[in-house]
């Protein structure tokens, strides 16, 4: 886990998922980080360390993640505090507007973030997304509809998109 992404006082906690163990970190006010299985190694924070008590942002994230994976939640409602540049935060806000089960291209997100030619910069911001899944960078695809890079790996991206499509199909 990149400690630079964590705020002072953050507590990290493992959260089980059908795709492997997630790790979330935050404080009582906001969630700051979500590590995906298959992503960059979260290091020793995921397996050692003392917890002072589960922060409310982490408890809410765990509850909502369980509901998401059960197919009962299609929109997260969590206080988020991702740390990044102004551009990255613009991109991440645009990602949060992608509806559950839908995808958008890097160009779509660049236009939404106010710079239509910055599709490569959108890719870099996606790569730096510290709260993957909740800030749904897995819903961003190539202009030709192909799956492109994902911090948790393309197989996980494909499984998350398939999960969302299946949930929508069951509801209709």
Which residue numbers are catalytic?
137
Name the CA dihedral angle for 115, 106, 71, 15, rounded to a multiple of 10 degrees: -90
Q: What gap in Å lies between CA 6 and CA 25, rounded to an integer?
A: 7
Element (H, E) at 113: none
Q: What gap in Å lies between CA 114 and CA 13, rounded to an integer?
A: 35
In Å, how far from its chain's centre is CA 129?
A: 7
Strand-pair category, 104-105 with 140-141: parallel
Q: What gap in Å lies between CA 24 and CA 58, rounded to an integer?
A: 7
From residue 33, alpha-carbon distances to 2, 72, 95 in Å are 9, 23, 16
Residue 30: is it exposed, middle or buried by C-beta count within 10 angstroms (0-12/13-18/19+)?
Answer: middle
> In this structure, what token pair is assigned to residue 110?
């660049």
């Amino acid at each position: 886990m990149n400690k630079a992404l964590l705020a002072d006082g953050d507590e990290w906690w493992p959260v089980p998922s059908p795709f492997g163990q997630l790790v979330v970190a935050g404080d009582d006010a906001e969630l700051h980080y979500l590590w995906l299985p298959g992503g960059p190694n979260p290091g020793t924070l995921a397996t050692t360390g003392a917890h002072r008590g589960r922060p409310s942002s982490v408890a809410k994230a765990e509850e909502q993640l369980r509901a998401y994976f059960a197919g009962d939640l299609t929109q997260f409602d969590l206080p988020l505090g991702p740390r990044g540049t102004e551009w990255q935060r613009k991109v991440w806000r645009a990602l949060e507007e992608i509806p559950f089960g839908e995808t958008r291209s890097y160009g779509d997100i660049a236009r939404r973030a106010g710079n239509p030619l910055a599709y490569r910069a959108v890719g870099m911001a996606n790569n730096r997304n510290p709260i993957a899944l909740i800030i749904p960078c897995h819903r961003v695809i190539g202009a030709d509809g192909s799956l492109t890079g994902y911090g948790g790996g393309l197989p996980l991206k494909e499984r998350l998109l398939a999960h969302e499509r299946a949930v929508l199909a069951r509801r209709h």
